[in-house]
Each structure stands twice: as C-alpha cells, then as structure tokens.
Amino acid sequence: MLSNTFHVGGDLGVRRLGFGAMHLPTEPASDREKSAAVARRAVELGVTLIDTAHMYGGGANEELLAEALHPYPEGLLITTKVGVARSPESGEWGLDGRPATLRAQVEQGLRRLRVERIELLQLHRIDPGTPLADQLGTLRELQAEGKIGRIGLSEVTTDELGRAREIIDVSSVQNRYNLLDREHEPVLAVCEAAAIAFLPWRPVAWGALGERAEIAAVAVEAACTPTQVALAWLLGHSPVILPIPGTARIDHLEENLAAADLNLTPTQRDRLNRLSEKPGQAAPS
C-alpha cells in the first residue's frame, strides 16, 4: 500500500490528497463566505496542500485563502503559480514569462498570501516568447533571495522538463492527467524516477458512455462514488501523484477527501487501467 504522504522537494511533507482552490468564487460577498468555509473545512479534514494561482481572479483567489486561513496552521502548504498575465489593452490572459512580470507576481503573491516566503512556486506555463533560462533564472534568483522555497512547473513535456532540470531543481510538475486522459504518462514516469511531485490538474474527467459505465460498476462494487474511484486510482497509480481536486461545495469536498481511504482491488485497478488503452496498445502498469 502506498504512503498517503509525500515530501515535496525531498523535505516538505504533505498529505497526498490536496485541494485545488481554482473553483472558489470570490464574489459576491455571500459566495465569498461560502468559499472561505470550504477552504477552512478542507484544512479541518486534514488537507495540507492547497493549490492556487495569480491567474485565478488576478490574485483574488490568493487573497481569499489568506482571509480564510491566515494565520496558517503548521504544516499547511499553499502553492501558487505565476507566468500568466492579463493584457492591459485587451483584458485577455496570456503567457508572460518576462523576468519583470514573474518578479512582480511573486511579490504580489507574497503580499496577498501574507507570507515571507512561498514554499512552492510553480511556473504556470512556459512562455515560448521568453528564453527559458530567463524565466527559470528569475525564479532561481528569487529562491536565492529567500522569497521562494521550491520551484515547480506546469503543463510541460518530458523535453521541457529535462531542459528545466539543467537550470533549476524541479520540485513539482502540474500537468493535466486523470484516469481517462493519460497523455502525460511519460512525464509522470520521469517525475517518479526523480522523486518529483506530480500534481494532476483536472484529476477527474468522464469519457465515453462505456468508460463511464465501467467506472460506475467499480464504484458499485466498492460502495463509493465514481469520483472517489477516479481519485483512488490516481493515489494508487504512483507514489508521487498528489491529486488536487477542486470544488466550491463542502459535500463534494468531503466526498473527494474520503477517496484517500478507498483501496481498489488489483482486479478493479486492472479494469480501470484498460480504459486508457488505444487499439493495439497494452494498458500501462
């Protein structure tokens, strides 16, 4: 049985099943209070990893978490992301990995989260318009200044991850990944070999009718919900996977976190693995 904890960067211990704050609304005031209640309930239930980003409301999501949880309980890791900015002309969000932008967003994140150091800071996307060495070099400088503890990446290929590891120590990777969407299996393999935390975003997704039926059948057998099956599969698939399911409802939060106690049988896992097979392709182990 795999451990329910993981040490990000080799030294920062967290429970593997975390919480993604992206879906928490920050306005109007009534919704904001409900969002704060969800965040507080997550911590009450033992969550020690919460994911947010500058892009989520232009920092409003970071402010919400600080409002709900500061002063933070010991052992709580709030990780945020930088590198996506809103155009002052069009108002559209776009990749922006220029050193000045990254530095400004880190400084804003420190202020909004009310911390002196962001223990895990992730580059939301690699900006193809800015040299990778400049993007990661800026984060490395901020790390040397004590404003960042560990550096992670998001939505990267194996090649991009390899090039990044030549510049910095990569502590985490946050890629799209779930039971039915395993495009980034090669990236996960690299992370597992290097003990890099792998945070799947969109950890629960439903495919074709037949796939949903198979997941539902396993859920009936295990006396749980299909969502819990999908999360339990992730937790059992690799010791470096740290799912961060998000929700704005306490009942869904409680359902998600209960997946940590679900143990799928080897036969059930084999059936679920086969859902990602393509014609002529064996199910990944």
Contact residues for 43 (Cβ-Cβ < 8 A; gap 6+) = 69, 73, 76
**Phi, psi (5° rounding) for residue 71?**
-70, 135
72 noted as active-site residue = no
- Asked if residues 151 and 123 have their Cβ atoms less than 8 Å apart, the reply is yes
CA–chain centroid gap for 148, Å, is 17
Residue type, 243: P
- Asked if residues 205 and 180 have their Cβ atoms less than 8 Å apart, the reply is yes
**Phi, psi (5° rounding) for residue 251?**
-65, -40
Task: Please pick, among 6, 38, 39, 56, the residue that the annotation labels catalytic.
Answer: 56
Cα–Cα distance list, 123 to 53, 84, 189 (Å): 10, 9, 20
Active site residues: 56
